[in-house]
Structures are given as structure tokens and as C-alpha cells.
DNA sequence: GATTAATGACTTATAAATAAGTCAATTTGT
DNA sequence: ACAAATTGACTTATTTATAAGTCATTAATC
């Protein structure tokens, strides 16, 4: 029989892949420094050992909630150096968002720069 | 018939949830500033409009690869302020990881503090 | 203020992620 | 070097995320 075409796996940019890899490494570094085994971290996250391994290896298909949860547990700072600052940041950004347009519309008429 | 128990949705820590929310907001802020509609960003990411909406709203169940990809496209910096720095960071961390133990073992004997 | 596109919130079918388990290889601590 | 445990890489069944579509509402531009 003919080899069936695979469903064409999703592709990711280098920047995206590297960012995920950095996060995975950070989790692994902090986990080891805190002397936790992969299985122990998995239990704390409430996930399987397999998943923690994939997160640490930078698998882009992992749920972001699980990855961030693992990061939080081993003490990897996310966007801000500590928890209270993160909360402040959230409020600041909410404020900023309030000032921006709610939706983005394309120009009705093309910009006329041809006269 | 008896109401079937729901599978008990996964829970996330406040820190994890807030970090995801911050990322979603950042994507939205930058998207609007770049005058992209949700649908336009979705197309660039290669994902559905529904997904971009969920990412911006901080849904923890989104794939981390898609979230980071959206962030990269609208110019949200991840872990480092630019791309070349991120690559450097990746190498530095790899180096650091090489110096750490490959596995974490629990003590064979419990610490004897009871004599 | 009227038009019209964008957004948010759904639904459903399909594709993919996750959990659980196994086994070989590696690594740590004694 | 030995013994015991961790890790990495699989497999399979099941749960869950995603894409695609619809519709009502909101908001931007004219």
C-alpha cells in the first residue's frame, strides 16, 4: 500500500523554539538545584513524569499552564522577579489595555499616495 | 440517571495563572499597537482565530509553542530583550547544566537526628 | 448616526496531548 | 566496583485541545 502522507506537523520559528528551550532548561536547572527528581516535580505539578521530561526538553506541544506551573514550583521567575511584582504588572497592563482600541479595522480605502 | 462526576478540572497556582495572563495581555497590546486583527495574527501563527483569543485571555490549556509563536510574531520579548541574546542565553544555560548532576537521588538513609 | 468589520462566545468533529506503564541505559552514593 | 534509583525513550488508551463554523454584540470609520 502507498505510504500515507503524515498530517504535516506544525512548524515553529527559531525564536519561539529557543524561548521554550530556555524555559525548559531553567526548570531543569532549578529542579536539580533544589534536589528534586523528575518524578517528584511531576507529583507536585500534578502531571506525569513524561510530561515534565518533555517540558524540560523544550517540547512546544506542552500546555502552557503546565509548563508555567512547573516553573513556578521550582522558582523560575516569569516576567517579573517576584510574585507581587507580577501582580502589579498585571494591573499596569490592564490599565494600558484600557487605553488602546478594542478592535483593529483595516483601512476602508487604500492610502492614496499615487497622485 | 445520576449526574456523572466531572473529571475534576486541573488547577493552577495564582502565580502560574498570572504569568499566563501577563503574556496574553502582552500579546494583545503588541498586536493592537501593530494594528493587526485577531484573525490576521491567527493567520500568521498558522492557527485559528479562536486560539489567539484564548491565548490573549490567558487560557492555561493552550500549547506553549503556539503562545510563544504569537508572542514572537508581535514582538513580545521572551526571557531576553532580543533574539541574539536569547541564543546566547541558551548556550550559557547549556553550559551550566553540564556542571550539574545528571540525576537527583534521595538519601539512602534518613538523616539520623534522633539519638 | 449609519455601516460594516471585528470581536466574543458558542458548538461540533477531528486531531493531538496526556497519563500510565514498561524497559534499557545511565548515574549516584556507598 | 556494586547496588539501587533516576532518567530517557518508548507504547497504548483516554482525555483534551484545536479548527472551523455560526451568531449576536461591540466598536471603528465614514
- Angstrom distance (rounded) from CA B48 to CA B52: 7
**Percent of chain B topping pLDDT 90:** 83
Residue B106: pLDDT band (50, 70, 90) is confident
Q: What local confidence, expressed as pLDDT, does residue A113 receive?
A: 45
Asked if residue B3 has pLDDT above 60, the reply is no
Nucleotides of D under 7 A from a protein CB: 5-11, 15-21, 26-30
Residue A67: pLDDT band (50, 70, 90) is very high
Residue A114: pLDDT band (50, 70, 90) is very low
As a whole number, mean pLDDT of residues B51-63 equals 98
Q: What local confidence, expressed as pLDDT, does residue A54 receive?
A: 98
- Mutation target to probe the A interface, by most A beta carbons within 10 A, among B8, B10, B13, B15 is B15
Own/partner contacts of A4-9, CB < 8 Å, gap of 24 or more, are none
Nearest residue on chain A to B104, judged by CA atoms?
A: A37
Asked if residue B76 has pLDDT above 60, the reply is yes
Asked if residue A82 has pLDDT above 90, the reply is yes
Q: What local confidence, expressed as pLDDT, does residue B48 receive?
A: 98
Asked if residue B4 has pLDDT above 60, the reply is no
Which of B54, B44, B25, B51 lies closest to A100 in space, CA to CA? B25
Which nucleotide does the CA of A102 lie closest to, via C1'? D27
Residue A111: pLDDT band (50, 70, 90) is very low
Nearest residue on chain B to A28, judged by CA atoms?
A: B97
| Nucleotide D19, nearest residue via CA and C1' | B48
- Angstrom distance (rounded) from CA A109 to CA B47: 28
pTM, two decimal places: 0.91
Own/partner contacts of B86-92, CB < 8 Å, gap of 24 or more, are B86/A15, B86/A18, B86/A19, B86/A22, B87/A18, B89/A22, B90/A18, B90/A21, B90/A22, B90/A25
Handedness of CA B19, B22, B24, B26 (dihedral sign): negative
Q: What local confidence, expressed as pLDDT, does residue A115 receive?
A: 44
Specify whether the CB–CB gap between A56 and A25 falls below 8 A.
yes
Amino acid at each position: 500500500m502507498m505510504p500515507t502522507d503524515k498530517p504535516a506537523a506544525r512548524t515553529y520559528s527559531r525564536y519561539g523554539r529557543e524561548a521554550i528551550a530556555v524555559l525548559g532548561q531553567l526548570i531543569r536547572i532549578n529542579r536539580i538545584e533544589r534536589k528534586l527528581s523528575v518524578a517528584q516535580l511531576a507529583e507536585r505539578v500534578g502531571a506525569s513524569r513524561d510530561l515534565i521530561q518533555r517540558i524540560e526538553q523544550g517540547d512546544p506541544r506542552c500546555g502552557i499552564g503546565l509548563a508555567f506551573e512547573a516553573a513556578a514550583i521550582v522558582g523560575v521567575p516569569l516576567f517579573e522577579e517576584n510574585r507581587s511584582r507580577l501582580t502589579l504588572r498585571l494591573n499596569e497592563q490592564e490599565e494600558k489595555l484600557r487605553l488602546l482600541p478594542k478592535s483593529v479595522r483595516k483601512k476602508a480605502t487604500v492610502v492614496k499616495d499615487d497622485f
